[in-house]
Structure 1
């Protein structure tokens, strides 16, 4: 049977008018999905180790979510938020606030992760206007972070390969190095490093001028090319202290990690840090409908309320009742089946199994938290030398996995935005020990096959 990355697109090739993500690639056609598996029209089965794309948490084909969507559709679909709220929107917001750290007060619904981060960017700007500090316009972000594909969110994104084609459009936002202990940019070792990666924020604030900095945006655990990068224990508390000292808002991008992906309600909960704004998407809707949310601490919302100011922003489909119903049903399902605890439990199992792959050729580092894990692939384990980008090693591994019935997330640019390959995993929380064994076995076979091709 053809590899899904190179084979014939089943029976739809001649009628395909879709502008696909990759030119020249033939995609299999998904036919159905159940549990942790997706099936294509050719009868192939794929273990969804990618969770869609860090999205599917409660599993595929959960009938309760479909029923909630159908029930809301039967009542009404679109009552625009300029005229109405809805019971579904209100209950969904209540659930998110109940999950969030103490002090969060309001939820602004959005339509995606990119849109949520774009909304947060505008909210930060408007907040400082309301507070009489219009000069605070700069948002500091981190290199190799991904915050979205819209112009504002892409300006915060730190991945050169995503930024470069659109550089003339982007806002001039500064970036600092991430807490990349495997390749410390400061040539230090943790513990004992003094968390120089956090102090980089202090230096950048002073370089820009504290009075001009509006916010710092940070992923608690980095997805994308950094491959589930987990910061040192002191990192986020230090970041919070620096932001507080300079009157800067702290935005935590939980697009990937919200709703239990790391084994806690939110990724930031592992460090006991309370940010000012949390952005969420992906798992808060389980992959059933496009969704996003900006969760706002009372200290931010109160500034608008004190001045009687409304946030000047909106999207046609933000707060859509059917989307809210799907999100609410997803969060209720997570709670009813205790799946966030299960994500922590199965995450420990997955992590232990993945660490056995560290002995394989190409595997330089294995890292992660909960059910978000990454493997960094290297040409030389001793020197940590990466493969040249031209070899597309992470794509090679992903293809070998798909050919064996496993979906993973390849990443490139971990080292310098160009070189550096990772493979990330984010399976549904319902994954079993047997399915974890299947996942790790296939991944190991794929890595060995690529190593053989490369002569490693």
Structure 2
């Protein structure tokens, strides 16, 4: 008699599926073999089975100019033929310098420096480290705490998970690996959080007052940064803040010397109708901004942190360095791909099209 004969039907099906899953890749599911993509072009992907699928979500909100763009392909091939790799701790490349120049042309919102990594999670961790180093070099090493928002998602590395609050993804690690110096306040979640009859202004003020109270409860001199998504993404859907919220957050952070980190890995790169989503929130001027996903459009793994001149000035007057580094930091091929993608975005007026048609 088979050992599985007495098992519930669902369990039998899982075992059968598991037996048929022969991939040696550790996929998100061990019980289901994912479909194999054979090709991708424009807004469509084609499976090995021949089925053609509209990539309506652009992968994980990534492929902002579609698949198979010839200009991007040419840029990658050209970079591959000149400098495919160099270590960014010792050297730089034209593709990295040109990408930073393009993103920071005119010092938008006071942002003056770019740090390139391979994923949004790495970008968030790098921003947290940069915030910490800023305070240490600014003579305030006692600032060791972070404040974030509930129902937020900032990535899957330890630091990024710690400031996020995706329950299912963080649960196995909460009492073992995640940081214990993070506190969470209410999200700007109109559908769930706004009181009956409450105006935008009143709701924003209540949320800002909650942040202010949390900082005072912790001791504002112990807090290094507050991190938030201008538009919510993976955990609670596409959620925007009430009018005046982020301006109020900026005032509170300024009041207590807390850095403001805005995570635009998902909502940035023009998909809200302005290049930075926070640009629609008034006079916000974040100290650090994380970018990703649409930065490289899926053509190569790349993300980054943009830093305000007031942060960079402190480091320049202090150690003169950012105490961080990755093997594939500012990878030449990734920077070349991202540069080509961003040139297409500007050439084809895609941000203006988002504003006119809806993100």
Shared fold (TM-score greater than 0.5)? yes
Q: 1:255 to 1:122 in 2, by over 3 A?
A: same
What's the CA shift for 1:251? 0.3
| Aligned counterpart, 1:439 | none
The CA RMSD over aligned residues, in Å, is 1.6
Are 1:217 and 1:252, in contact at CA under 8 Å, matched by a contact in 2? yes
Q: CA deviation at 1:146?
A: 0.7
DSSP-derived class of the 2:351 partner: helix
Aligned residue for 2:54, secondary structure, equals strand
Deviations 1:130-160 (A, max 9, x none): 0010010111001111111111111111122
| Equivalent in the alignment of 2:231 | 221
Total equivalences in the alignment:
337
**Partner of 2:16 in structure 1?**
none
In 1, Cα distance between the equivalents of 2:229 and 2:109?
19
Equivalent in the alignment of 2:295:
284
The superposition leaves residues 102-126 of structure 1 with CA deviations (integer Å, 9 ceiling, x where unpaired) of 3111101111100000001111111
Report the equivalent of 2:202: 193
Asked if 1:345 is matched to 2:352, the reply is no
Report the alpha carbon displacement of residue 189 of structure 1 after superposing the two structures with TM: 2.8
Q: CA deviation at 1:271?
A: 1.2
Give the deviation of 1:66 after TM superposition. 1.0
Deviation for aligned residue 1:184:
1.0
1:79 aligns with 2:90: no
User: Is 1:203 matched up with 2:213?
Assistant: yes
Q: Name whichever of 126-135 and 78-87 sits farther off.
A: 78-87
2:39 aligned to which of 28, 32, 37: 32
* Whole-angstrom CA distance in 2 between matches of 1:190 and 1:58: 38
- In 1, the alpha carbon distance for the partners of 2:132 and 2:22 equals 46
Helix, strand or coil at the partner of 1:170: coil
Q: Tell me which of 236, 247, 251 is aligned to 2:261.
A: 251
| Residues 85-104 of structure 1: pairs in structure 2 closer than 5 A | 85-98=92-105, 101-104=108-111
> 1:101·1:274 contact (CA, 8 Å) conserved in 2?
no
Q: 1: CA distance between counterparts of 2:356 and 2:26?
A: 40
CA gap 1:15/1:100 in 2 versus in 1, 3 angstroms: farther
Q: Does 1:300 align with 2:281?
A: no
Quickly say closer, same or farther: Cα 1:14–1:239, change in 2 above 3 A: closer
* Matches of 1:174 and 1:137, distance apart in 2: 12
**Contact 2:21 / 2:30 at 8 angstroms: preserved in 1?**
no
Distance 2:341 2:167 in 1: 35
How far has the Cα of 1:186 moved from its partner? 5.9
For residues 106-117 of structure 1, what are the structure 2 equivalents within 5 Å? 106-117=113-124
Change (3 A) 1:186 1:122: farther
In structure 1, what is the Cα distance between the partners aligned to 2:322 and 2:73?
33
CA distance in 2, matches of 1:203, 1:29: 51
Counterparts of residues 54-453 of structure 1 (less than 5 Å): 54-98=61-105, 101-167=108-174, 168-172=176-180, 173-184=182-193, 189-191=198-200, 193-195=202-204, 196-272=206-282, 273-347=284-358, 370=359
In 2: Cα distance, 1:178 partner to 1:269 partner: 19
Aligned equivalents of 1:190, 1:26: Cα separation in 2: 49
SS class of match (1:98): coil
Distance in 2, matches of 1:293 and 1:58, equals 19
1:241-275, Cα deviation, whole Å (9 max, x unpaired): 11011100000000012211111101101113210
Q: Is the 8 A contact 1:100 1:266 kept in 2?
A: no
1:374-411 C-alpha deviation (Å, 9 max, x unpaired): xxxxxxxxxxxxxxxxxxxxxxxxxxxxxxxxxxxxxx
Residues 97, 302 of structure 1: CA spacing in aligned structure 2 closer, same or farther, 3 A cutoff?
same
1:258–1:191 distance in 2 versus 1, CA, 3 Å: closer
The whole-number CA distance in structure 2 between the counterparts of 1:60 and 1:99 is 30
Q: 5+ residue gaps in structure 1?
A: 1-5, 7-12, 348-369, 371-456
Structure 2: where are the runs of 5+ without partners? Answer: 1-12, 14-19
